[in-house]
């Protein structure tokens, strides 16, 4: 049994500097040394392990167990979701269905600026609300590349566009999991996140268009982007405040897609912008409605299977004692050395156990398996030969070999950092900033998502810290809990895990440093603005903060 120590140097600032070294290492490896993603991740993992053993006193066996735990998490479910998503995409290409999909999107608008908003922002939001774990970026970026957009731009723009829905991702799990941990009702926290995100979600589509075509792009597409943004934000605000944290992403995406598509029936941009220089736009649809429907079937099935997978009736089949319980396997990596004991940051005499294990859900709660079922059924509908499908799957595995290793190493780094207590050290250092904490509150969430690649993990890691600091400062805890999640949304675009997934999806394996540099400056700018916005709400607009509701833990 080993107990975590959050301040190994007996000076929280010095300890936090030590805990920050792996992050600096990763940044230097990618930005300055321009190493490949797996190389940067491997060096960072080794350095983190050394610090965990020699500074934090973590037993070497537990460091090794944490590495295996994290690497396994990287394989399942994260890498499995990406493999299934890319396989589904390749099937549509092999069957010729993607040409029809491309034509149907072009019939709405051939303009790349608006296509990125419809697919990267709106459709990506729907997928984020349904599956999360990098799947939305993988699918939307691959679609945009197929529509003629440069792979690096497609990946970068999708990472940026995907930030707005992250806080409510995967059916609201980031919020509900955090609120369960800190003992508050998720309703007020969901409402606060919806209020904080209003200016951010509204601006993101305009910012994405600006990155593609500057002020000219904003002028030429303003009406369509305004409709997409306004409909998205209005729905996100309403659903987060009155329906709870589960539906904002899905509802916002559907409403925005419908409103924008209908609007584009009566309004067209005068100048068509294309990255590929294409100028021949025949608006006459060469395919029938049935052909278009069949071509989109793989993605319709993807949505249907994900809805089925998240339904209570389906989940009940895998509950304890249910017929399919056997499909859930728990892997334990530390039988020989015991468990990790985590002292409460509020009262060190109160402790909890950190299991070094991994639950493998072969079917239940596994979006990758849902996507695979959609792909298998799509084979029959698209009439893809078994040999061609096997070729697609083999090609996917070959293309994903290095990205899988990269993802595994990145998540292993996150677990060593979390299990050793380094992540908590960084949070505690920020909590000592007194009144300035209102600015640093979202920064903590940003750092958490950078470290873990997940808004859910970041919220679980720092939720209690945010709550305790709010009580110390006399500020409603709902704000800081929400700020942690909102800050995490802009950490997603620079998370090593997200970078690895995006590069894998568009065939840019080995160019992770290029993509990281593309998104880093925007992530930094956004987190500064969100920090200022959090401070303004805390001290100038406290009336918009809903009061938290305690629940029985």
- Residue 510 three-state SS: coil
Q: What is the C-alpha to C-alpha distance for residues 45 and 270, in angstroms, rounded to an integer?
A: 51
Between 85 and 387, the more confident residue is 387
153 band by pLDDT with thresholds 50, 70 and 90: very high
Contacts of 396 (CB under 8 A, 6+ apart): 83, 86, 87, 90
Instruction: For the chain, give the percent of residues with pLDDT over 70.
Output: 93
State mean pLDDT over 81-92. 84
Mean pLDDT of 6-19: 92
Mean pLDDT of 16-41: 86
pLDDT range class, residue 427, cuts 50, 70, 90: confident
Please provide the DSSP assignment of 332-393 as one string.
ES-TTT--EEEE-SS-TTSEEEE--EEEEESSTT-HHHHHHHHHHHHHHHHT--HHHHHHHH
**Helix axes 80-94 and 496-506, enclosed angle (nearest 10):** 20
What tokens appear for 532 in the block? 């200022």
Mean per-residue pLDDT for 482-493? 92
pLDDT surpasses 50 at 50: yes
Q: Looking at the chain, how many residues does it have?
A: 553
Would you say residue 553 has pLDDT above 50?
no
Total Cβ atoms within 10 A of residue 510: 16
In order, the DSSP letters of 115-131 are HHIIIIIIIHHHHHHHT
Alpha carbon 400 to chain centroid distance?
Answer: 19
In the numeric block, which tokens belong to residue 101? Answer: 């999909």
pLDDT category, 441, cuts 50, 70, 90? very high
Q: How many CB atoms lie within 10 A of CB 169?
A: 30
Per the CB < 8 A criterion, the answer to whether 409 and 64 are in contact is no
Sign of the Cα torsion 33, 34, 38, 40 reads positive
pLDDT for the residue numbered 334: 58
Q: Cα 252–257–261 angle (5° rounding)?
A: 150
Q: What is the mean pLDDT of residues 43-52?
A: 95
- pLDDT score recorded for residue 333: 64
Establish how many alpha carbons lie within 13 A of residue 499's alpha carbon, considering only the half-sphere containing its beta carbon. 34
Query: Under a CB-based contact definition with an 8 Å cutoff, are residues 203 and 233 in contact?
Result: no
Number of H helices, E strands in the chain: 22, 5
Is residue 32's pLDDT more than 70? Answer: yes
Residue 78, pLDDT above cutoff 60: yes
pLDDT tens-digit readout, 263-308:
999 999 989 999 877 776 665 677 888 998 998 898 888 878 877 8
The answer, yes or no, to whether residue 487 has pLDDT greater than 90, is: yes
pLDDT at 133: 62
Q: What is the pLDDT of residue 552?
A: 47
Q: Which residues pair with 353 in a beta bridge?
A: 341
In the structure encoding, which two tokens stand for residue 417, read together?
A: 């950092």
Coil, strand or helix: which one is 321? coil
Distance between CA atoms of residues 472 and 462, nearest Å: 16
- Residue whose pair of structure tokens reads 């799509």 in the numeric block: 378
Alpha-carbon distance values, 201 to 28, 166, 172, 237, 291 (Å): 31, 11, 17, 10, 35
Give how far the C-alpha of residue 322 lies from the chain's centroid of Cα atoms, to the nearest Å: 31
- Residue 275 DSSP class: S
- Please count the other Cβ atoms lying within 10 Å of the Cβ belonging to residue 98: 20
**Is pLDDT at 534 greater than 90 in this prediction?**
yes
Instruction: Quote the pLDDT of residue 281.
Output: 66
**Vertex 153: Cα angle to 38 and 173 (nearest 5):** 65
For 72, the enclosing helix (H) or strand (E) is helix 60-73
Strand partners, 228: none
pLDDT at residue 366, as a whole number: 64
Q: What span, in angstroms and rounded, lies between the C-alpha atoms of 469 and 159?
A: 31
211: DSSP letter: H
User: Using CA atoms, how far apart are residues 351 and 369, in angstroms rounded to an integer?
Assistant: 36
pLDDT value, residue 379: 93
Main-chain dihedrals φ then ψ at residue 55, nearest 5 degrees: -105, -45
**What pLDDT score does 527 carry?**
95
Backbone angles phi, psi at 331, to 5 degrees: -100, 125
Q: Is the dihedral of CA 475, 476, 481, 485 positive or negative?
A: negative
Cβ burial of 395 (10 Å; 0-12, 13-18, 19+) is middle
Question: What's the pLDDT score for residue 200?
Answer: 94
Q: Do 7 and 422 touch, CB atoms closer than 8 A?
A: no
Instruction: Classify residue 311 by its DSSP letter.
Output: S
Query: Are 193 and 482 in contact, with CB atoms under 8 Å apart?
Result: yes
What is the rounded CA–CA span in Å between residue 208 and residue 468? 36
pLDDT at 365 exceeding the cut of 60: no
Question: ∠ CA(123), CA(81), CA(327), 5° rounding?
Answer: 130
Mean pLDDT, range 402-413, rounded to an integer: 82
Q: Cα(159)–Cα(138) distance, rounded to whole angstroms?
A: 10
What is the average pLDDT score of the chain?
86
| Cα–Cα dist 532/329, whole Å | 45
pLDDT digits (tens, 9 = 90+) for 204-260: 999 999 999 999 999 999 999 999 999 999 999 999 999 888 778 888 988 999 999
Residue 360 region by backbone torsions, left for phi larger than 0, else alpha for psi between -120 and 50, else beta: beta
Residue 358 dihedral angles phi and psi, to the nearest 5°: -140, 125
The string of pLDDT tens digits covering residues 309-358 is 767 888 788 777 778 777 777 666 655 445 788 887 766 777 777 777 76
Least confident of 57-61, 185-189, 347-351, 542-546: 347-351
What is the 3 state secondary structure string of 411-436? HHHHHHHHHHCHHHHHHHHHHCCHHH
Whether the pLDDT of residue 498 is over 60: the answer is yes
Rounded Cα gap, residues 361 and 327, in angstroms = 6
> In the prediction, which pLDDT does 130 show?
66
């Amino acid at each position: 049994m080993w107990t975590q120590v959050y301040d190994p140097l007996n000076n929280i600032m010095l300890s936090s500097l030590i805990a920050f070294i792996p992050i600096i290492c990763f940044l230097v490896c990618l930005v300055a040394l321009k190493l490949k993603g797996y190389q940067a991740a491997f060096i960072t993992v080794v350095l983190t392990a050394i610090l965990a053993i020699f500074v934090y006193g973590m037993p070497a066996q537990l460091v090794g167990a944490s590495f295996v735990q994290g690497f396994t998490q990287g394989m399942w479910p994260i890498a499995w979701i990406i493999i299934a998503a890319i396989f589904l995409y390749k099937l549509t290409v092999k069957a010729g269905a993607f040409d029809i999909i491309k034509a149907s999107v072009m019939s709405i608008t051939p303009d790349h600026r608006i296509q990125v908003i419809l697919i990267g922002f709106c459709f990506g939001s729907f997928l984020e609300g349904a599956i999360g774990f990098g799947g939305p970026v993988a699918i939307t970026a691959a679609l945009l590349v197929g529509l003629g957009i440069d792979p690096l731009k497609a990946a970068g723009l999708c990472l940026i566009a995907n930030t707005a829905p992250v806080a409510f991702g995967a059916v609201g799990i980031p919020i509900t999991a955090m609120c369960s941990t800190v003992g508050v009702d998720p309703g007020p926290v969901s409402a606060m996140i919806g209020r904080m995100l209003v200016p951010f979600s509204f601006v993101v589509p305009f910012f994405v268009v600006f990155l593609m075509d500057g002020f000219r792009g904003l002028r030429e597409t303003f009406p369509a982007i305004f409709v997409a943004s306004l409909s998205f934000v209005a729905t996100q605000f309403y659903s987060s405040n009155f329906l709870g944290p589960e539906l904002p992403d899905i509802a916002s995406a559907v409403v925005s897609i419908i409103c924008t598509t209908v609007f584009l029936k009566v309004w067209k941009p005068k100048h068509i912008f294309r990255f590929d220089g294409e100028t021949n736009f025949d608006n006459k649809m060469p395919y029938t409605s049935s052909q278009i429907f069949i071509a989109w079937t793989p993605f319709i099935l993807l949505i249907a299977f994900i809805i089925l997978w998240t339904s209570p009736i389906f989940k009940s089949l895998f509950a304890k004692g249910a017929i399919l319980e056997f499909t859930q396997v728990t892997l334990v990596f530390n039988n020989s050395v015991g468990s990790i004991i985590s002292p409460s940051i509020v009262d060190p005499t109160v402790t909890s156990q950190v299991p070094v294990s991994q639950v493998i859900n072969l079917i239940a709660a596994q979006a990758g398996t849902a996507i695979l079922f959609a792909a298998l059924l799509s084979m029959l509908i698209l009439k893809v030969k078994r040999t061609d499908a096997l070729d697609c799957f083999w090609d996917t595995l070959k293309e994903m070999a290095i990205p899988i290793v990269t993802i595994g190493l990145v998540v292993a780094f996150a677990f060593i950092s979390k299990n050793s207590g380094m992540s908590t050290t960084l949070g505690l250092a920020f909590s000592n900033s007194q009144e300035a904490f209102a600015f640093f509150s979202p920064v903590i969430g940003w750092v958490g998502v950078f470290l873990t690649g997940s808004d859910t993990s970041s919220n679980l890691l720092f939720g209690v810290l945010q709550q305790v600091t709010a009580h110390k400062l006399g500020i409603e805890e709902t704000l800081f809990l929400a700020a942690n999640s909102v800050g995490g949304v802009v950490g997603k675009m620079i998370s090593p895990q997200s970078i690895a997934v995006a590069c894998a999806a568009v065939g840019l394996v080995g160019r992770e440093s290029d993509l990281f540099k593309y998104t880093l400056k925007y992530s930094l700018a956004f987190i500064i603005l969100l920090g200022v916005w959090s401070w303004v709400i805390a001290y100038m607009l406290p009336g918009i903060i809903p009061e938290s509701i305690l629940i029985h833990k």
